[in-house]
């Protein structure tokens, strides 16, 4: 065979190094690469990750192999490098010969891997202060259907990187027609509907069902902490803004949490442990959830914050935890008032702010409703959508690279 085999996914994998030598035992294949690396692959791992039609459905690239249905544990009878540069392995007792793409193998070398769960973009915490504002990008051509995928990627890629890394980006120069936010958001992925609708209007209303729909000031908060899984992303798109006041305020909740961990480690530990009640008991809905205010992942890294004083119900913690919980809360609240953490800016029509709703805190100064009109439209989606879209950007780059090297 002179052509390389398929991979068990839809991606393109540049050949970063060639296979130079291979050895094997019954359950292990060891290869040496042209870049000097040595990699070991378990036979059972190779068998499950083959790309033939007994392992994956060619139409969907989803696995169809059930390892437990094999006649015995897959063992290796032979392994070699073929004329195309692929790894060929013969498995017994199936007596099946399978080929593996060298670019895919090199990229999935778990024997030499770093952190397979490392974020797509390095997470960088930030502080604000006077004169600081969000990173801003010109997005005037984002909805241009004639521009092509590469032109769209040129706008989206840095925007996605900013949200993944810093939790926030501001796009400028977008249309101001009501409802255009949906078309913009779908350039990233599907929206998440809530009881406020697929799109929601942030403006003063005569019969509001949320403080957001008034002209009063809003303290730093995340949206919908009352849900088991609060939305991962929020978008706010300015259609009109001619009022006096109403300046937007944003803080990096991760930066505040890290500062709390350094200054008051006991308070930080308390807020990662005590489960607060979050409640939104409106006229027609009743959402309640219990969760810590700061949540860490399995590695101790910050995963989310749930900070929204106006959406907290009565604390229902163990008796001995109540006073320490409130002491920790007030320590955090005082930090949220420190100007060094906040950036402040004014929306202008055509601005769209995209931010990580499980990380960024947003707030608003009061505004004078009679002085003009302030109309933002908002929507939610999940962190998964922005990660998926960014992976597609990376995939497109790899596909162009593979095509250029062919």
Whether the bond between 308 and the residue before it is cis, its omega within 30 degrees of 0, is no
Q: Cα(313)–Cα(317) distance, rounded to whole angstroms? A: 12
pLDDT at 189: 96
pLDDT at 406: 73
pLDDT at 134: 92
Torsion sign (Cα): 169, 173, 179, 180? negative
Provide the token pair at 115: 């952190």
Q: Are 325 and 317 in contact (CB under 8 A)?
A: yes
pLDDT at 9: 94
Mean pLDDT by 10 residues, the chain (406 residues): 87 95 98 97 98 95 96 97 97 97 96 87 91 90 72 88 97 94 95 95 74 79 96 97 85 98 98 97 91 95 96 96 98 96 95 98 80 87 96 92 84
pLDDT at 209: 63
pLDDT at 133: 87
Q: Cα(328)–Cα(27) distance, rounded to whole angstroms? A: 54
Q: Which domains does the chain carry?
A: 19-113 (3.30.2020.30), 136-391 (3.60.130.10)
CA torsion 338→166→385→382, rounded to 10°?
-10
pLDDT at 144: 77
User: Which of 350, 323, 382, 16 lies closest to 184, judged by CA?
Assistant: 350
Q: Helix, strand, or coil here: 284? A: coil
Q: Output the CA–CA distances (angstroms, integers) from residue 138 to 126, 146, 386, 398, in the order listed.
A: 22, 18, 19, 25
pLDDT at 370: 62
Q: Helix, strand, or coil here: 20? A: strand
């Amino acid at each position: 065979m002179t052509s390389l085999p398929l991979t068990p996914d839809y991606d393109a994998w540049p050949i970063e190094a060639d296979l130079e030598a291979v050895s094997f035992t019954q359950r292990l294949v060891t290869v040496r690469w042209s870049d000097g690396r040595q990699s070991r692959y378990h036979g059972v791992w190779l068998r499950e990750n083959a790309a033939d039609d007994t392992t994956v459905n060619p139409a969907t690239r989803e696995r169809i192999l059930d390892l437990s249905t094999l006649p015995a544990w897959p063992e290796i009878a032979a392994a070699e490098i073929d004329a195309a540069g692929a790894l060929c392995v013969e498995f017994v007792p199936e007596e099946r010969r399978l080929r593996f793409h060298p670019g895919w193998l090199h990229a999935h070398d778990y024997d030499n891997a770093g952190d397979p769960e490392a974020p797509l973009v390095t997470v960088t915490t930030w502080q604000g202060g006077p004169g600081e504002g969000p990173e801003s990008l010109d997005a005037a051509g984002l909805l241009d259907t004639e521009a092509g995928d590469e032109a769209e990627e040129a706008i989206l890629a840095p925007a996605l990187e900013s949200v993944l890394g810093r939790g926030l980006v501001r796009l400028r120069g977008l249309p101001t027609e009501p409802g255009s936010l949906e078309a913009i958001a779908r350039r990233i992925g599907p929206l998440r509907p809530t009881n406020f609708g697929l799109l929601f209007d942030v403006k003063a209303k005569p019969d509001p069902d949320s403080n957001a729909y008034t002209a009063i000031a809003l303290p730093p908060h995340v949206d919908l902490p009352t849900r088991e899984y609060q939305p991962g992303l929020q978008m706010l798109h300015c259609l009109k803004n001619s009022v006096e006041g109403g300046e937007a305020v944003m803080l990096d909740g991760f930066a505040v949490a890290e500062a709390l961990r350094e200054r008051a480690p006991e308070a930080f530990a308390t807020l990662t442990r005590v489960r607060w009640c979050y409640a939104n008991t409106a006229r027609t809905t009743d959402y309640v959830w219990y969760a810590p205010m700061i949540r860490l992942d399995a590695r101790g890294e910050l995963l989310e914050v749930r900070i929204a004083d106006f959406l907290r119900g009565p604390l229902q913690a163990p008796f001995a935890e109540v006073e320490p919980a409130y002491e920790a809360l007030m320590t955090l609240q005082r930090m949220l008032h420190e100007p060094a953490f906040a950036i402040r800016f004014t929306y202008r029509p055509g601005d769209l702010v995209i931010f990580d709703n499980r990380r960024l805190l947003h707030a608003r100064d009061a505004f004078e409703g009679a002085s003009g009109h302030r109309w933002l439209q908002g929507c939610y989606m999940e962190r998964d959508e922005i990660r998926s879209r960014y992976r597609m950007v990376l995939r497109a780059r790899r596909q162009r690279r593979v095509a250029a090297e062919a």
